[in-house]
Amino acid sequence: MVLLFWVLLLLPLAEAGAQPLTSTWWYPNGTPEGTRNNPATTKLADTANLQIIWRTESLKNSPVLLAGKVRQEGANQQQIIGLESGSHILRFLDAFGRMYDTVNYDETIDPSTPYTLTLTGLFNSEATMPNGVGVPNLLGLGIEREQRGETQLNGILSQPNGRNGFSVRIPTLASNDPSYNRIAGVYPAAAFMVQGKPTVFAIASQNQFRNTTPSTPDSIVNGVYRYTNSGNGFVQTDRFPIAPGVYPQAPAITITDSSAIPYIAPSTRSLIEPAGQVIPAGQGVTPTLTTRMYGIGLKVDDKLAHVETRRFTSQTSQNDTLGETNSYFVRMYDGRDRSQLTFPSEYRLVTTNFSEDRPGVPSITLLLTQDGLPVDQSRGIFSINTVKNVGWTILSGNVDGNDTSKQDPGVDGEYPNNPGNEVLAAYRQLDGRDVDSNYLFFFQRNGAREPNNGGRVFWNYTAWPFKGRLMAVADIVRDADTAKQEIIIAHSDSLIVLQMNRYADVLLSTVDASRRQWFRQVKAFKLDSRVVAVAVADLQGNGTNTIVATTERATYAIGTAIENPLGEVTTKDEYCRGEQATARWGARRVGGGEQGLRVIVRASTGTDSVMIAELKPATDSGTFTFPTGQLLPGSYTLLLQDNAVPTLSATSLSFTITGPSIKPLVLPRSQYRPGDAIAAQTVIRCASNLRLERALGSGNDWEAVPATITYLGDTAFIQTNAPCLDPCPTQQTARLRFRLVDTSLAGVESVADTITLLTEPIQLSIDSGAARARLLRWNPNLFDCDSVELTITTADAAGVKTVSNRPGIYDLNLPRNFAGTVTARLCCGSGSSSCTFGRAAFELEPIEVGTYAQPNPFNPMLGGRESIVEIFYDLELRGSVTITIYDASRALVRQLLRSGDKEAGLNVEQWDGRNSDGAVVANGTYICVVESSSGEQSSIPILILKR
């Protein structure tokens, strides 16, 4: 089982005036090597596979991360539990960063009394070893608050889901010194089987107090408490008081190879010996008594037994105040060559820690677990006198991967290879800030039976400078030659994975030890804000480790890529350009997405891409639309990217943006009559707003044609009628071109097809003869109108007149300027939709311009129009006209017109061949004289010829 934990910051209760508690970490159910990790061996092949695999804003700024299998479902997957800083809401994430549950402890703990809630670990109370085996059955939660009244203070042990918990209580705080607060924290720290009974260990810490009865250890709250379940629940069985205080950090716990009895070493503040005889801390403390720090060792048997209290001298002035000791059990070899080792495998490592408020020089000491004696009497304490006011981060792991390259005596024969784990140490600020001038100290256990030149057993091999904080050691990537574990450091918002170089390569690269590059960066990640905590676990249960990191704004998981983290994106195979396209994605596999998704269209060839949409906030699935009008025809893919982590993406299969096209329009016939039905079809692609247009002849004056257009798949069906171009056409045929146009897309049109429009006129009848008075006849039933439009045209003249259709007859009286071929056309006119028209033509002799008579000669005895002669005369000016007929002797025959007012131009009068008495004159030649008041005068002979 993999359990991981990280840095914990307990905030003060401002209302109660408490002092802040130090930063620390919890590692219950972790390994006894001092590390926070027990991850599986990675299956990663290379660092290229390492990437951010999810990000969520849940658990942001969480100082403690627990990972373990707390759900039955999900095969071997593990879950993540955390509390955002200052929060009372426990949040649960699955292996993919999806929050699936929350527990609000304000519902079970009275929030009217301010309290701080701290995750202390996942425990297996049935495990036979402190580091735990199997599936956890308990979740520890520490509570710091003020005792009010006689209510006991407590921590909580619950089911792994955070519910159905029970209290781990401590005795009521004594009130013998009311000047000090009554604030304390109770922190479940470990759970395992002791002498066949489930046992829980807890730490109680009162951050400010006076002990006015130093001879009575029971009055001291601070210490280690044991709770045993004998079948009726967990009850306190014994405790070991420690004064003046313990830090609320999980104690170091181990069971050595040589003993089945657990050892516990809590973290303590400064004290004097023995533990039970306490000079009150706080005001009035003698400064010299606070210049030494002590580490407490306890053995867990029938009772918590005091193994030793060892003093670690801090190199500070007498004015320094309280410091801190932290204990770790470390294993520095893998146990294979135990016969070659003088000392057992487990060691106790004690650090002294300081800050600006509690100044001092930090140190590290390695002790034997069983009796607390230093491993190396001559060099028991490691420290650098020039470095002050910092604490330590301690990790252990097989960082060199059992690299044997330095076994060559010519390279470095004095300190042969350490065959197992190494200890890594780095400075830390007790308030969690970055250390700008930090060092990675690399401690080895000298495995030689007799080290050369009096070499040390516990040896700092190098101090490698870096900026930031040491966070974790775990197997993150696999090297081609070794099984090295990687080191994770953080600097501000960067998370960096380091791997150790080969000894021989580094030692031979430079003589200057200060320039040797013992570690190389294999991967770095820029996150959104300062890194707060780091854990490593095989979250997905597939043997591949994942780094989980909280920042001030989010929680990240770094590991091998998760297939389809955002779910599958599906599109149609083809979209028409300009279409509002719809895509779908679903089954998002990872949590997060609070910053939304961006949708990008990428061309399949080249690097062009266009962001077409933003989805905020992101959802687990859904549909969205995107425009295609800005995309050129071609092949594309759709990319969904998390706005916060662009590597979290989903890509669709290729789809095509197709431009519109219309196949050539082919009409079924080449000739049509007006009104004939025209039905055609053609193939179209992405053209759905079609319009039928026509143009006359070869011109480009296109106009829309009324038509019905329907669509079936990629086929357009067109129905219209042959048009009536002109109700009174002058030609019997016309060439028309038809085309289809997509009205929504300029420039998209079909190739036009040409037809011949046939127009056959109805025959009209006109009386024969040479006279200008003719009779026009037609069948009125062929014209669907009440009146018709009569048009008379010659090469040089034209006239239009509207006449009644019903009679079917009309008298033509053509003026003298009509001559040559005369065409008469009859139609319903421009106001009608009828295309029916008639046509007739005849020849007409031209006449002289001036004064003339027609017909001349004429026979007044014939009757009708043939018995009348028309006298035509041109006037240049308007005037009063008199027309007189004389015989050959100039005798007056008849005055046709007397002082008639006439317009300039052509005028006409008629003579029926009779005299003034009304009698028909005799045959012969008569003179017609035309006189105008304007002075114009003309005369013409008229021949009477009676037969």
Q: Which domains can be identified in the chain, with CATH numbers?
A: 7-173+181-209+217-559 (2.140.10), 568-658 (2.60.40.10), 661-758 (2.60.40.10), 762-844 (2.60.40.10), 852-944 (2.60.40.4070)
Look at residue 332 in the predicted model and tell me its pLDDT. Answer: 67
d(CA 643, CA 377): 57
* Contact in structure between 243 and 215 (CB atoms under 8 Å): no
d(CA 575, CA 573): 7
Look at residue 6 in the predicted model and tell me its pLDDT. Answer: 27
Look at residue 31 in the predicted model and tell me its pLDDT. Answer: 33
pLDDT band at 16 (very low <50, low <70, confident <90, very high): very low
The H helix count followed by the E strand count for the chain is 2, 67
Averaged pLDDT score across all residues of the chain: 78
Which range of 419-423, 625-629, 680-684, 767-771 scores highest in mean pLDDT? It is 680-684
Look at residue 338 in the predicted model and tell me its pLDDT. Answer: 47
Look at residue 318 in the predicted model and tell me its pLDDT. Answer: 36
For residue 47, the SS3 value is helix
d(CA 718, CA 37): 75
Terminal CA-to-CA distance of the chain, rounded, Å?
144
Lowest-confidence segment of 124-133, 861-870, 895-904 by average pLDDT: 124-133
Run of H or E residues at 411: helix 409-412
Q: Report the percentage of the chain scoring pLDDT > 70.
A: 79
Task: Return all residues near 656 (Cβ < 8 A) that are at least 6 apart.
Answer: 573, 574, 575, 633, 634, 635, 636
pLDDT band at 311 (very low <50, low <70, confident <90, very high): low
pLDDT band at 265 (very low <50, low <70, confident <90, very high): confident
Look at residue 219 in the predicted model and tell me its pLDDT. Answer: 63
Amino acid at 662: I
d(CA 498, CA 506): 15
Q: What are phi and psi of 678, to 5 degrees?
A: -120, 125
- Say yes or no to pLDDT of 257 above 90: no
| CB environment 90-117: b (16+ within 10 A), e (fewer) | bbbbbbbbbbebebebeeebeeeeebbb
**Residue indicated by tokens 């038509």:** 707
Amino acid at 25: W
pLDDT band at 242 (very low <50, low <70, confident <90, very high): confident
Lowest-confidence segment of 41-45, 234-238, 554-558, 593-597 by average pLDDT: 41-45
Task: Return all residues near 147 (Cβ < 8 A) that are at least 6 apart.
Answer: 153, 172, 173, 182, 183, 184
- 347 burial via Cβ count (<10 Å: 0-12, 13-18, 19+): buried
Look at residue 931 in the predicted model and tell me its pLDDT. Answer: 92
* Contact in structure between 204 and 225 (CB atoms under 8 Å): yes
* Contact in structure between 561 and 53 (CB atoms under 8 Å): yes
Other CB atoms within 10 Å distance of the CB of residue 193: 16
More confident call, 548 vs 511: 548
Sequence-separated contacts (24+) of 612-619 with Cβ below 8 Å: 614/643, 616/643, 617/593, 618/566, 618/588, 618/592, 618/593, 618/594, 618/642, 619/588, 619/593
Q: For 773-796, what is the mean pLDDT?
A: 87
Q: How far is CA 517 from CA 446, 502, 508, 511, in A?
A: 22, 10, 11, 12
For 646-677, write each residue's pLDDT tens digit: 888 888 899 999 888 889 999 999 999 888 99
The DSSP bridge partners found for residue 169 are 154
Minimal CA–CA distance to 203: which of 186, 226, 220, 217?
Answer: 186
For residue 114, the SS3 value is coil
pLDDT band at 909 (very low <50, low <70, confident <90, very high): very high
Look at residue 904 in the predicted model and tell me its pLDDT. Answer: 86
More confident call, 222 vs 13: 222
**Residue indicated by tokens 């056959």:** 760
CA 303, 307, 313, 317 dihedral sign is positive
- 833 burial via Cβ count (<10 Å: 0-12, 13-18, 19+): exposed
d(CA 169, CA 616): 47
Which range of 276-290, 473-487, 812-826 scores highest in mean pLDDT? It is 812-826
- Say yes or no to pLDDT of 696 above 70: yes
The DSSP bridge partners found for residue 391 are 428
**Runs of H (alpha helix) within 502-650:** 503-509
d(CA 269, CA 209): 13
Look at residue 683 in the predicted model and tell me its pLDDT. Answer: 93
Amino acid at 753: D
Look at residue 473 in the predicted model and tell me its pLDDT. Answer: 86
Minimal CA–CA distance to 206: which of 117, 145, 149, 156?
Answer: 145
**Residue indicated by tokens 């046992």:** 199
pLDDT band at 556 (very low <50, low <70, confident <90, very high): very high
Minimal CA–CA distance to 352: which of 312, 397, 400, 296?
Answer: 312
Q: Which two tokens stand for residue 620?
A: 């687990």
* Contact in structure between 879 and 932 (CB atoms under 8 Å): yes
Lowest-confidence segment of 82-91, 203-212, 289-298, 548-557 by average pLDDT: 289-298
Which range of 258-262, 383-387, 919-923 scores highest in mean pLDDT? It is 919-923
- Say yes or no to pLDDT of 33 above 50: no
CA angle 553, 534, 14 (to 5 degrees): 60
- Say yes or no to pLDDT of 468 above 80: yes
User: Kind of pairing, strands 905-911 and 892-902?
Assistant: unpaired
Look at residue 255 in the predicted model and tell me its pLDDT. Answer: 66
Q: How far is CA 670 from CA 365, 635, 737, 738, 760, in A?
A: 107, 41, 11, 12, 17
Minimal CA–CA distance to 487: which of 560, 404, 421, 551?
Answer: 421
Q: Which two tokens stand for residue 230?
A: 């004998």
Minimal CA–CA distance to 331: which of 410, 264, 262, 419?
Answer: 419
Q: For 316-331, what is the mean pLDDT?
A: 61
- Say yes or no to pLDDT of 270 above 80: no
Look at residue 496 in the predicted model and tell me its pLDDT. Answer: 96
Lowest-confidence segment of 69-78, 750-759, 871-880 by average pLDDT: 69-78
- Say yes or no to pLDDT of 402 above 80: no
Q: For 109-125, what is the mean pLDDT?
A: 85
Q: What are phi and psi of 454, to 5 degrees?
A: 65, 35
- Say yes or no to pLDDT of 193 above 50: yes
Task: Return all residues near 7 (Cβ < 8 A) that are at least 6 apart.
Answer: 23, 24, 25, 63, 64, 432, 532, 533
Other CB atoms within 10 Å distance of the CB of residue 286: 10
Lowest-confidence segment of 210-214, 449-453, 558-562, 755-759 by average pLDDT: 449-453
CA 821, 827, 833, 836 dihedral sign is negative
More confident call, 341 vs 175: 175
Minimal CA–CA distance to 433: which of 497, 356, 498, 365?
Answer: 356
Q: Which two tokens stand for residue 500?
A: 């150790």
Longest dimension (CA), the chain: 182
Task: Annotate 819-867 with DSSP letters as a single string.
Answer: -EEEEEEEE--TT-----EEEEEEEE----SSSEEESSSB-TTS-GGGG
User: Kind of pairing, strands 574-576 and 634-642?
Assistant: unpaired
* Contact in structure between 43 and 35 (CB atoms under 8 Å): no
Q: Which two tokens stand for residue 765?
A: 């009848």
Cα dihedral 206, 210, 212, 216, rounded to 10, equals 30
Q: Which two tokens stand for residue 623?
A: 């549909």
**Residue indicated by tokens 């109770």:** 186
For 357-382, write each residue's pLDDT tens digit: 777 888 888 887 766 676 665 455 78
For residue 98, the SS3 value is coil
d(CA 652, CA 657): 14
d(CA 249, CA 236): 20
Task: Annotate 183-252 with DSSP letters as a single string.
Answer: EEEEEEEEEEEETTEEEEEEEEEESS---S-TT-GGG---EEEEEEESSS-EEEEEEEE-SS-B-SSPPE
d(CA 853, CA 717): 66
Look at residue 923 in the predicted model and tell me its pLDDT. Answer: 92
Q: Is 578 left (phi over 0), alpha (psi -120 to 50) or beta?
A: left
Q: How far is CA 765 from CA 462, 778, 781, 812, 842, in A?
A: 126, 7, 15, 12, 10
Lowest-confidence segment of 101-105, 288-292, 500-504 by average pLDDT: 288-292
Q: For 635-655, what is the mean pLDDT?
A: 89
d(CA 618, CA 614): 9
d(CA 343, CA 368): 8
Look at residue 210 in the predicted model and tell me its pLDDT. Answer: 55
* Contact in structure between 856 and 913 (CB atoms under 8 Å): no
